[in-house]
Chain A
């Protein structure tokens, strides 16, 4: 053992556990503090999400806490100043809350929907959604519509769960892993942990991605795909699997609706809907009884393929349509090769490799379990093929159906929620879709009768008026985007500016940088934020409230800024009612707790909501006698119950005898304390019999129902065939008994895109521009050390990248005379930007890409004038329109989004590229320098961060200096 000085003095240090918030991955952290300075932030080794590891962002938390961009006081825009000019006066938190409350009270008393409340990458949608409901506005959503709602929606309308927060590959048992598209930016540490596990086992890792960056670097096989064609690729693999009869018959019959009979009466009402009995049960053709029977019953013998008559109607099983659709030559590998850029033999080989693993390398886990009908089974069968997909598939206008197509590959292989397959994470799987319908009506001083967001299953569920016009400011759940489960945050400012469908009073944003990288069409949106009505001189958006901990670009457009705390300064919950920390075989949730005291006049947005909601007398925050119910956020979390025994935190509740219990129970005054004592999280591991086939696992379903995760313990039948989509399709055809669109473009969109089985269609932007004029696909991704992080341009992380480039295939660039590191114009139908290019090899020729959100407005985020982020870095957002490319038709004013879910289609972008003239350099467009806000500190010119007041050094003795010879002396 070596003798070294004692460097660390534990007596001076304290250790607390919390949850990281450098991105949205919810890793557990252990924070060591020495004399109010952070010594070290490390991963919590016991934590289920990150198991002790921590990514670059998590490791840079010190610089977030010490950012000079922290806001220190509430701020009010100076009278007479323009939005965007950055002229603010400091006010007290008391004044700020008074102003906010008065404004909101007036809206709530008159027309609550005139408050539009949109949040960014927050993890408290359970609270913000409750707040909006209690306020009585339907105009609430988080950033999902801009982010990855297609993934969530496709999963929840198909398998009952999805990727990332909803489900994970079975990293421990999978033998073949396929990662689709740009997918690095969710589940940061868990994917890295998982990739190492499977690579060390010799499992194959295939990546489908136009670029060979990120995780693609260690993929065993990289497939360079053309952006926006994932659906064609997936359906071509479906074609191959069908053609070679490589699919799991039993899985399809037992766990999916593929044998359900559909009515086959084209051109008539009811066509394509399920044949049902008098009780509404879908029917299947039973081969033994030779008649149509209730398809939900156990022990029947459904014909997977049936076409004929049943109950006097022409019918075909869903699987007949499925096979007819996908065996069609248009999905053959040969026909898919040109569309996708993937050679035909590669498509076929990949499909058959997966089939080999699924059916020849099957896993069997000896474990008795009981299915939904009470029948015992002695083992779990595993088809060890797994997948992950995210933004790259999601952010296209065909992303919803593309993601459904990916789930089809999983379903055909029987690899859903089985050993080695794709596993759900509690509280998922949910019924398909979850039984929540979006609220349509608002009344003064009255909470909503259902949540603002939900899952429509038929046109009756749309949030439209009797004339078919949208009722929400973002036009969610309208004919423009019927299944927009997460809202359309990217449309709020444009619609509010246009007063379409109506003007609003106040736009309130939390953690949402909507004047910069979290919006489409940044340049124009900034103008809309400050635009005034020419006649009245009033702002088009009369009042803007922003809560942010940092001096972000959006703060400059706010009338009132409520400064937030940092993630190390506040209480927070990562709740089972929201997006918890559950893993496939354990249910869990977590907290944040203050590690450091705040030294500024700031208030966490959690506290602000409780405070303002209490002042406004929201029923949930008010006692029967009218007095205030909760002292603050901590008190609210401890005592509020969404349903008996269910609160924001599921850990350490109290049973009937007053003993502490997890998952369900009465409020426990010591709950926060227990979390603090236990590493800031709670976990309940699954018993072995509940681990797989949870959609049809009786023990699991009953337990989940008891925990409040699902309302019924009925089998969750996967929807290969979507009757929901067919209902909308019929509405488009004019064959629906219920609301139907009146405008032709809505009818066309419903009939074309709302197919009950996905049919490949070209991303919309491509169909409305000249593809020859704009020959390149242009996509964004984020580097691993910044992805899903959104605030504090971090002093350490910006040393890794402070300027992004437009990456282009070297050979392609050379053929165009575009030199490495040269400056070029990149132009879309919506505008142009000047950027610096870099050549690379690992990028398909028809695609260019960049790192998103590196660019910052000069002066924002504590950056000095002339910083690389402002001078040379660029946003692609300027090129991306929030509306479809103009063609002089009815679609000109329709959102540039997936026509099914309203997912922002920012990966649909097409561009042309040409060299600059006259040697121009520097990023274009440029924006004015942002002034520091009152109370902000100057950004330092040098950082000498050291947590120790008196650091201990290690020294070499003079004796050693004098007596030791050369290192080469030891050479023998």
Chain B
């Protein structure tokens, strides 16, 4: 299996439901807590597995606002794993999820330097690196209904912009979406072969407009002939 996410940039409104839902689930999750430093003070900083970058493309008035959720891409060529001196970082054979063993991590930061996506965050309280687990503590939990065995960010997304599935299965929802909507990886040229894919915005074609009726372009009420309409 090759588990990962598809994120639909056509409908992502940048609302942060996914990032906070992730925080909520994972602070009590497999690598929790997601410590918050100075939570009520200047410049609060906590550990987040998923962040949204907001930026604009193009100049006014033809600019476009883009919301870009980013979390661990669970890369095929995950250099973050290779650089780990303790073996804490690993990519699971059975499903491709990249994880960090909290009891082996010494917080050296090599992995975060190796990650081009900024997906890894050091918990300065525990001294360990933390990142998206694809909610490994949900997706295999048989006490949950099958529909709930998905990452928290996917379940909560109000605009259905996030999809979870197996990219090894060509008929899975994620494979189908990537095929149908021209899904792409982020910065594939770097060679990490990220598992997560992004769907580009749909392009709206110009649409027809109503035509003026013959003899119309009426400029005065007097020219109208009443239509007979029974009330």
Chain A residues at the B interface, C-beta cutoff of 8 Å: 1-2, 4, 6-8, 10, 39-43, 45, 50, 52-60, 62, 68, 188-189, 192-193, 195-196, 199-200, 202, 204, 212-218, 220-221, 224, 242-246, 249-250, 253-254, 259, 284, 287-288, 295, 297-307, 320, 323-324, 327, 349, 352-353, 355-357, 359-360, 784-785, 793, 795-800, 802, 809-811, 840-845, 862-864, 866-868, 871, 939-948, 951-956, 958, 960-962, 964, 966-968, 970-971
Contacts and interface: CB of A to CB of B under 8 A. Distances in A.
A855 to B, nearest CB: 14
Contacts of A323: 221, 224
Contacts of A966: 82
A349 B209 contact: yes
A301 B229 CA distance: 6
Interface in B128-144: 133, 136-137, 140-141, 143
B156 A53 contact: yes
A224 B61 CA distance: 8
B16 A799 contact: no
Interface string B12-29: 111111011101110111
Contacts, number: 342
B90 interface: yes
A843 B29 CA distance: 41
B56 to A, nearest CB: 5
Interface in B145-189: 147, 152, 155-161
A967 B160 contact: no
A243 B104 contact: no
Interface in B191-231: 201-202, 204, 207-213, 216-221, 224, 226-231
Given A42-B156, A785-B17, A967-B76, 19 more contacts: A56-B19, A214-B14, A217-B64, A224-B61, A243-B219, A287-B226, A302-B231, A305-B226, A784-B15, A795-B40, A800-B19, A842-B63, A842-B65, A941-B38, A942-B36, A948-B28, A951-B30, A953-B101, A956-B87
Question: Across chains A and B, which 4 residue pairs bring their CB atoms closest together, nearest first?
Answer: A961-B87, A841-B63, A352-B209, A355-B210
A220 B203 CA distance: 8
Given A4-B140, A55-B158, A799-B45, A254 B231 contact: yes
B20 A796 contact: yes
Interface of B: 10-17, 19-21, 23-25, 27-46, 48, 56, 58-61, 63-67, 75-79, 81-82, 87-88, 90-95, 99, 101-104, 125, 133, 136-137, 140-141, 143, 147, 152, 155-161, 201-202, 204, 207-213, 216-221, 224, 226-231
A799 B44 contact: yes
A954 B210 CA distance: 62
Nearest to A871: B42
Contacts of B40: 68, 793, 795, 862-864, 867, 939-940
A841 B81 contact: no
A38 to B, nearest CB: 9
B210 A7 contact: no
15 contacts: A7-B137, A40-B152, A53-B17, A192-B158, A192-B159, A199-B202, A218-B11, A356-B209, A784-B15, A793-B40, A798-B44, A799-B45, A841-B61, A871-B42, A944-B35
Contact of A200 (B11, B24, B43, B60): B11
Contacts of A10: 143
The prevalent SS among residues of B at the interface is loop
A304 B229 CA distance: 9
Given A4-B137, A352-B210, A199 B10 contact: yes
Given A54-B158, A841-B60, A244 B210 contact: yes
A650 to B, nearest CB: 27
B114 to A, nearest CB: 11
Contacts of B46: 795-796, 799, 943
A889 to B, nearest CB: 38
Nearest to A296: B231
A327 B219 contact: yes
A804 to B, nearest CB: 14
A243 B218 CA distance: 5
Contact of A353 (B39, B65, B209): B209
B152 to A, nearest CB: 8
A42 B138 CA distance: 13
A304 B13 contact: no
A300 B227 CA distance: 13
Given A60-B20, A942-B39, A204 B207 contact: yes
Contact of B228 (A287, A349, A968): A287
A485 B119 CA distance: 51
Contact of B63 (A212, A302, A845): A212
B77 to A, nearest CB: 6
Given A4-B136, A867-B42, A942-B35, A40 B28 contact: yes
A356 B201 CA distance: 25
A844 B79 CA distance: 44
Contacts of B99: 954, 956
Nearest to A221: B204
Contact of B36 (A217, A324, A796, A958): A796
Nearest to A6: B141
A92 B90 CA distance: 57
B79 to A, nearest CB: 7
A964 B90 contact: yes
A249 B229 contact: yes
A221 B11 CA distance: 14
Nearest to A244: B212
Contacts of A297: 231
Contact of A967 (B30, B31, B78): B78
A798 B46 CA distance: 11
A946 B24 CA distance: 9
B35 A56 contact: no
A53 B158 contact: yes
A250 B28 CA distance: 60
Contacts of B90: 956, 960-961, 964
B15 A55 contact: yes
Contacts of A302: 229, 231
B202 A353 contact: no
Contacts of A288: 228
B24 A41 contact: yes
A244 B207 contact: no
> Which of B42, B56, B231 lies at the interface centre, i.e. has the most chain A CB atoms within 10 A of its CB?
B231
A254 B228 CA distance: 12
A216 B157 CA distance: 18
Contacts of B156: 42-43, 53-55, 59
A873 to B, nearest CB: 12
B200 to A, nearest CB: 12
B141 A218 contact: no
Nearest to A812: B60
Most buried by A among B23, B75, B94, B201: B23
B227 A942 contact: no
A34 B48 CA distance: 23
A478 B48 CA distance: 53
A40 B25 contact: yes
A810 B209 contact: no
A324 B219 CA distance: 9
Contacts of B75: 967
A848 B87 CA distance: 52
Contacts of B102: 953
A196 B58 CA distance: 24
Contacts of B43: 802, 868
Contacts of B59: 810-811, 841
Contact of B104 (A245, A841, A956): A956
A676 B198 CA distance: 40
Nearest to A359: B210
Contact of B230 (A299, A327, A798, A864): A299
A899 to B, nearest CB: 29
B217 A955 contact: no
A55, A204, A810, A948: which has the most chain B beta carbons within 10 Å? A55
B67 to A, nearest CB: 6
A362 to B, nearest CB: 12
